[in-house]
Amino acid sequence: MLDFNKKWAAAETRHDADALRRILDEKFVASFDTEPPYDREAFIKFIAGANMSSQTLTDATVIIDHDTAVVVGTDTVRGTENGTAYTAVYRYTSTYVHRHGRWVALAEHVVSVPQAK
């Protein structure tokens, strides 16, 4: 499951819409902090416009029960915004289902981790 999670992160970093459509279920939904949820196509459009150059996934916990898997972890994203480099840290919960002989992402919730002061 962790390899699948890394494949998803790599597709996001490459802004690879075709790969994301293979990874994300047709019913996929994503939410960020308290914003309204995104469906699959809105999420892909959001990722395509993101200025991220890398993602590092850490602290992952995986639970698999029959045809459902949940991964909770930390995602450190690096990129540029208006010409300035940034690093942002997020906690995510991703839910996967095993459907038609393969795993697909069904849902993800992401929250920002406040920077230490």
Residue 105 and residue 94 in contact, taking contact as beta carbons nearer than 8 Å: yes
- Indicate the SS3 state at residue 37: coil
Q: Is the pLDDT of residue 116 over 90?
A: no
Inside any domain, residue 88: yes
Inside any domain, residue 76: yes
Distance CA 96, CA 101 (A): 13
Domain limits for position 105: 2-112
- Indicate the SS3 state at residue 2: helix
Into how many domains does the chain fold?
1
**Residue-level pLDDT at 115:** 81
Mean pLDDT, rounded, of the chain: 96
Inside any domain, residue 117: no
Question: What token pair was written down for 69?
Answer: 């898997």
pTM confidence score: 0.92
Inside any domain, residue 103: yes
Q: Residues 63-113: pLDDT tens digits?
A: 999 999 999 999 999 999 989 999 999 999 999 999 999 999 999 999 999
CATH number for 78: 3.10.450.50
Question: What token pair was written down for 81?
Answer: 């915004």
Q: Is the pLDDT of residue 117 over 90?
A: no
Inside any domain, residue 97: yes
Inside any domain, residue 89: yes
Inside any domain, residue 25: yes
- Indicate the SS3 state at residue 58: strand
Q: Residues 4-51: pLDDT tens digits?
A: 999 999 999 999 999 999 999 999 999 999 999 999 999 999 999 999
